[in-house]
Structure 1
Amino acid sequence: MLDSNTTDFSNPSTFILLGIPGLEAAHVWISIPFCAMYTITLLGNFTILFIVKTEPRLHEPMYYFLCMLAVTDLVISTSTVPKMLSIFWFNSMEIDFSLCLTQLYFIHCFIVMESGIVVAMALDRYVAICDPLRHSTILTKPVVAKIGLAVVLRGSILALPFPFLSRRWPYCRTNIISHTYCEHIAVVKLACADIRISSYYGLLVAFLVIGLDVFFITVSYIQILRAIFSLPTKDARLKTFGTCGSHLCVILAFYIPGLFSFLTHRFGHNVPPHFHILMANMYILLPSMLNPIIYGVRTKQIRDSLLWYITHME
């Protein structure tokens, strides 16, 4: 392990990820649910991709967006969990400086992408419920592809300053990161320089991107609820609202842990560090695991296709 008291390096070759400080003795036990969640994430999201690809009935905007969500979840979890488990199992704490910044970039890039995909799914539900007769003409395959490209470009561009600014700072205090992965603020806090630009940019992305996305989702669902409550019968209202249930669950699973993690990191100075790190890990793992489960359980077309494949494999 590198010497944590080194005071004369401006570009460290490696960082040291401590895992969850204060809970080192429980690392092996903590790894069990984390590994289980990652396994479910891989199985669930690859299953969603397989079913949508092989079932022509599911070649619709809603399921294209669901595939984008699955790919995003796979990248977010795979960019963090294997290294996390290597810390817990093998005490493999070193991570190359460039690899650390790459991990940092992928995390922020794909979290912004996932937020954009959730907005696109809200748009799909809005058109499907508020203007169903024009749904197929508004959300055509080229339009869906353009939305997907816009989501990718937005995430890629907005996340680019995170590693770029992090690389500029001199690191002369320590190379030890009290975290399980290279989280942006955890990295730049090690710099012996004024890091307000990095901090302010992180806040700007959080409030501008996530704030705007939540605003657009809220506006969409206000219009959706107005359309639902204008339906003549209770059964029709329940059936129509049921088509939005999966997406609402995904919204809650994505934004609530993220908001809690963000607020505790920025303002929860009395929150124990190990609790914050556990919540940051849940923010990475929980939505990625829950999304395919939510859609698999609540979406009849996916559920029926999965049961068909299971019964024909026996």
Structure 2
Amino acid sequence: MTLGTVIAMANSSCFTLSSFILIGIPGVENAHIWISIPFFLMYVIALLGNSSLIFIIKTESCLQQPMYMFLAMLAAIDIILSTTTMPKMLSIFWFNSREIAVGGCLVQMFFIHSLATMESGIFLAMAFDRYVAICEPLHHTTILTNPVVAKMGLVAVLRGVIYILPLPLLIITRFTYYKTNVISHTYCEHMAVVNLTCDDIFINNLYGLTIGFFVLILDSVLIAVSYFKITQVILGLTTLEARLKSFKTCSSHICAILAFYTPITISSLTHRFGHNVAPPVHILLANFYLLVPPVLNPVVYAVRTKQIRQRVLGVFRKREVISPLYTSSLENPH
């Protein structure tokens, strides 16, 4: 079935369907191959960076602390989140493979939104860790034990599943007929799918807004409150050196929070209220909030965390030492 046939069917009446057609980035289809290059590079960086982060945290005994255990969880979520969207997106850009089954679309939707919710929960847990570390330093090791950290990670995962599972279930149970099966997007985003239906979307829209409030607004407020308390404690320290040292322990987390919440907030607002925003701009913003955090998180923590930075630099130094020795042995085999 060609794209023209699909659009012609869409203009005639509402119909049932078995698959959707993902357009990619509408209006710039001729540039898809060029757009795919930075997307592919970002995906590779996200995979390598987050995999390396997990490996370093797992193998370095000095990093077996709550903050880094949460960071390893965050890295694992980032790997899965980017993998949920990028292979299909690249197949659209490279091979014009636009069709996706309804079931596959709903599964992708569930993973995208649930993983983003889990990531927000991990950021909230990391904020609590920083609060305890700075405001209650003598009790940090007794409050945030390994079992407690594991339970907090499990709660973040379960929350993501419980919050988001109703989204595809509501679509399955409530929607039968669609105006079109053409999704003007690179992946199956909830509102992009819901807006295609011929049925009333009030309940779906209301539930989506409610989840957005609990995840984006409530988590952001709780994180802001924790950092307000942290700032009060830091400003109360006697020396400038102590203040700078305490702030430095939070700087990586703050950068990661901004990298996550800023693009997802802008994308959500433009999707619901930015009717004058050009479609290519909106789609690019929606992709950035899935790609930017997985790329930036390993870079931010590698630059700002001494132990991780030293381990990464140590790997390159070993290669520099081994390389000339290996070359010398080849030149002088005897």
TM-score range relative to shorter protein: over 0.9
Counterpart in 2 of 1:96?
A: 101
2:198 is aligned with 1:183: no
Counterpart in 1 of 2:325?
A: none
Match among 97, 103, 117 for residue 112 of structure 1: 117
SS at match of 1:259: helix
SS at match of 2:172: helix
CA-based RMSD: 1.1
Which contiguous aligned blocks of 4+ residues in structure 1 show a shift greater than 4 angstroms?
none
Counterpart in 2 of 1:36?
A: 41
Counterpart in 2 of 1:251?
A: 257
Match among 23, 27, 30 for residue 32 of structure 2: 27
Counterpart in 2 of 1:286?
A: 292
1:224-303 → structure 2 map (5 Å cutoff): 224-303=230-309
Give TM-score scaled by structure 1 length: 0.97
Q: Deviations over 1:204-263 (max 9, x none)?
A: 000122211111101100010011001111111111101100000001000011111011
Counterpart residue type for residue 295 of structure 1: Y
> Could you list the runs of 5+ residues in structure 2 that have no partner in the other structure?
323-334
SS at match of 1:271: coil
Distance apart, 1:133 and its partner CA: 1.1
Counterpart residue type for residue 106 of structure 2: L
SS at match of 1:16: strand
1:45-124 → structure 2 map (5 Å cutoff): 45-124=50-129
Counterpart in 1 of 2:331?
A: none
Distance in structure 2 (CA, Å) of the matches to 1:87 and 1:172: 22
Distance in structure 2 (CA, Å) of the matches to 1:202 and 1:212: 14
Counterpart in 1 of 2:221?
A: 215
Distance apart, 1:179 and its partner CA: 0.3
Q: Deviations over 1:37-70 (max 9, x none)?
A: 1111001000000101111111110111001100
Structure of higher CA gyration radius: 2
Give TM-score scaled by structure 2 length: 0.92
Aligned pairs, number: 313
Counterpart residue type for residue 238 of structure 2: P
Counterpart residue type for residue 99 of structure 1: G
Of stretches 206-215 and 156-165 in structure 1, the one that deviates more from structure 2 is 206-215
Counterpart residue type for residue 193 of structure 2: V
Distance in structure 2 (CA, Å) of the matches to 1:308 and 1:60: 21
Counterpart residue type for residue 101 of structure 1: L
CA contact (8 A) 2:216 2:265 kept: no
Distance apart, 1:9 and its partner CA: 3.3
Distance apart, 1:306 and its partner CA: 1.7
SS at match of 2:180: coil
SS at match of 1:80: helix
> Could you list the runs of 5+ residues in structure 1 that have no partner in the other structure?
none
SS at match of 2:20: strand
Counterpart residue type for residue 215 of structure 1: V
Distance in structure 1 (CA, Å) of the matches to 2:203 and 2:165: 14
